[in-house]
Structure 1
């Protein structure tokens, strides 16, 4: 018998318990979950609550439900997409290091391509976002304005896939952004880190844009890693 879940966060807690059981392999890939009535009873919840949790797990790509068959654990390591990232980051902060690595590499490519392709409206939008960062009223507003700068930079490449990739990476760590807010405490300093990127793009200098993006990514990552508070995550289980 599973430990009953308190009713104030029932769906959230049930989703978390089921998600951890799936990722940890207690419900193996390809296996059918127990029948709804049995599973709901084991957690001390009703079937409606269980269905809500299933919907979230399906949105994360962890399970699939078929009428008349039941709910089966997907092969999420083979079939899963980036929609899993926020779930995995919340569970295990080691994923942040992997996101940072991709962030550095993809960001440099995006910066160089944006410098080659950006038109005057793109440059104006980038400079506007630097101003938005500089005038942010608090660290959260500054951080969100900074995220929008990177969406604008990706949009300037003219390649929509880069924009979607940027959204994916942002989606991986924005849910835990309060634990990564150190680079955005000082709005002026945050804007100063972005200003060279915008100006390198404005100058059409791909090499300079790559270097300035790499410098930005390295500096902000160091500040995030140095921050005392950790994301609300748990260590990886093998």
Structure 2
């Protein structure tokens, strides 16, 4: 087993500053205290502080202007969906909002796929959904399920749907292990998603949309229940 990497001082400082920003202790539009003051507060040198600032600028939380200072960026107004994994890592409350988007986008993707999928794409979808039922373990079934959704997005012929699907899956990454519930029984996971694929194969757009809605609602209930149980265990620990 490889040695796990240890957090550096920059890692710890970045995490602390990020938490302070996302928790509102440094509101959007406000300037952070001068570098020398912050460095003294955290007990680090200014070089370490600059490295942490650089990471937060890259992630979209800060903006720095020479001679002016470092300001908290209004990420809710100016940011993009690439911030979602970080926001979910900070607060699982974002998951409920992600699921709302997941449902509306997922239904639309299934509908469009039914109208536009080629024979080759239908064959790929059937192969991929079969792999869910053959998966060994919940994590393998979860990953196989994700590949079906990526293939459905490709079948729409619209690359923006593909990128949106990738964005939503990336947003789950910080809590993915807690969302494995719907996939523990691989055969049941297959049976929930197979009607979506068959409706797409039949070019039945209304049926595909309805099947996707049923699938997304069922899996959302399981995942939210699992997250609530995990939170109760954590809070009770």
1:15 Cα deviation (Å)? Answer: 2.3
1:211 and 2:210 correspond: yes
The residue that corresponds to 1:229 in the other structure is: 230
CA RMSD of aligned residues (A): 2.3
Q: Tell me the SS of whatever aligns to 2:55.
A: helix
**Change beyond 3 A, Cα 1:44–1:135:** farther
Q: Distance in 2 between matches of 1:148 and 1:230?
A: 28
SS in 2 for 1:229: helix
Aligned length: 228
2:196, 2:46 → 1: CA distance?
52
What is the alpha-carbon distance in structure 2 between the residues aligned to residue 230 and residue 141 of structure 1?
A: 24
2:94 aligned with 1:95, yes or no? yes
Q: 1:23 maps to what in 2?
A: 22
What is the Cα deviation at residue 34 of structure 1? 2.6
Shift of 1:81: 1.0
Asked if structure 2 preserves the Cα contact closer than 8 Å seen for 1:89 and 1:233, the reply is no
Deviations 1:84-106 (A, max 9, x none): 21121122222111111111111
| Most deviating of 114-123 and 70-79 | 70-79
Paired residue secondary structure (2:71) = strand
What is the TM-score normalised by the length of structure 2? 0.87
Which stretches in structure 1 are left out of the alignment for 5+ residues? 1-6
Q: How many angstroms apart in 2 are the aligned matches of 1:205 and 1:184? A: 26
Contact kept, 8 Å, 2:178 with 2:230, in 1: the verdict is yes
Greater length-normalized contact order (CA 8 Å, ≥ 6 residues apart)? 1
Unaligned runs of 5+ in 2: 1-5
Cα distance between partner residues in 1 of 2:99 and 2:51: 32
Listed as ranges, the matches of 1:87-166 within 5 Å are 87-166=86-165
